Amino acid sequence: MSSLSARACGIDFGTSNSTAGWLRPDANTLLTLEDGKVTLPSVVFFNVEEDATCFGRQALAEYLDGYEGRLMRSLKSLLGSSLIDGQTEVAGRALPFRELLQHFIGEIKRRAELSAGRSFDTAVFGRPVHFVDDNPAADARAEATLAETAHAVGFREVSFQFEPIAAAFHYEQSITREELVLIADIGGGTSDFSLVRLSPERAKLNDRRDDLLSNAGVHIGGTDFDKYLSLAGIMPLLGYKSRLKNNAEVPSSYFFNLATWHTINFNYNRKIWSELQEVYRDALDKDRLDCLLRVIERREGHWLALRVEEAKIALSDAASATLQLDRIKEGLTHVIDRDTFESATAQLVDDVEFTVAELLRDANLARQDIDTVFFTGGSSGIPMLRQRIAAQLPQARPVEGDLFGSIGAGLAVEAMRRYGPMAG
């Protein structure tokens, strides 16, 4: 490590969690962002009762404590989507989604500077291999939006690095010999993969283009696993796939919005409430529709999504998870087993596995040539996903990185490489 501190920082703006890294002598690379922790959950809560905006764990705590307001999560999912030019309502006023992004990224910057004891005007931001699948123009717009947001909150100079490459640079700090590594970064919003040649000697080079053998990514991450687990395991309790008197299904859009982090708030308006009254009149199973109406009327969608996320995490280690759903219906508990989870998300896993297979073909390497699979990203702990990736490289050594910190730490390494140490 250099005996000087870096001029620039690294920012990992994640779908579920964000980190900031700064390379300096004899200190942790990751900066503390909330209550001594290096991660800041990517959550904003506009507390109407207190007329205050809060972030991260505090945002979730105030929402769950029952304060009236608007919770926003999975903000990164706005990048590259048509929603970015839209707005939401907060305390009776329109809040553009671009302004919402500025709120959060500005808060990362403020907290990083507070932790570092200095200001930052230069940063390397992480980005997924694809913000948007199979649409280069939309992908470029997403990166441009993130750059514009960073400039708007006070970063003078901004550049980007693929998130799995950043994770590779972090892993490279720990190895003693050359390795050919598949970086598997399974985050909240995307699954990104890179094949990289790493070694202590190569780490000293400024130009690493020859060491990057192949990149691939797909817009599938932990929030997608949440969504399909919710649709399979929870939404039927609220009337998903139940019937109307004409034998048609209850419209699925209400359930899809509730099961998707960044669209939960779409159900909270007068038009939807009026539609649901008509649906309810024609519903054959009014008991279950009562549960849906209760969730929407009381704005419990994010509370329910958090319960689903907890079940997903529990199912990484256990065969089943029991959810306490008393806010839906008094005394209601519900058990979800791993078979339900794996069946609901099988297509997602297939798509990720196909992406890895294509990456290996594009690199024109034999599978036995890969020395290591380096797993990072909070969703890389999903057992079926990890097993299917590892099965493609049975001779490679699996290594688990810091699931939430590898990218931010690697971006800090890249920030020093690109922008050098502080003057003086």
**Nearest-angstrom CA–CA distance, 334 and 90:** 33
pLDDT at 424: 64
Pairing of strands 52-55, 43-47: antiparallel
pLDDT at 207: 82
**CATH, domain range 9-174+404-419:** 3.30.420.40
Residue 241 has a CB neighbour count (10 Å cut-off) of: 12
Pairing of strands 372-376, 157-162: unpaired
Alpha helices in 117-213 (DSSP H): 136-152, 163-172
pLDDT per residue as tens, the chain (424 positions): 567 999 999 999 999 999 999 999 989 999 999 999 999 999 999 999 999 999 999 999 999 898 988 899 989 999 988 889 998 888 788 999 999 999 999 999 999 999 999 999 999 999 999 998 889 999 999 999 999 999 999 999 999 999 999 999 999 999 999 999 999 999 999 999 999 999 999 998 878 888 999 999 999 999 999 999 999 999 999 999 999 999 999 999 999 999 999 899 899 989 999 999 999 999 999 999 999 999 999 999 999 999 999 999 999 889 999 999 999 999 999 999 999 999 999 999 999 999 999 999 998 888 899 999 999 998 998 999 999 998 999 899 999 988 899 999 999 999 999 999 998 6
- Containing 242, the helix (H) or strand (E) segment is none
pLDDT at 66: 87
Angle at 30 between CA 26 and CA 31, to 5 degrees: 95
- Where are the domains positioned within the chain? 9-174+404-419
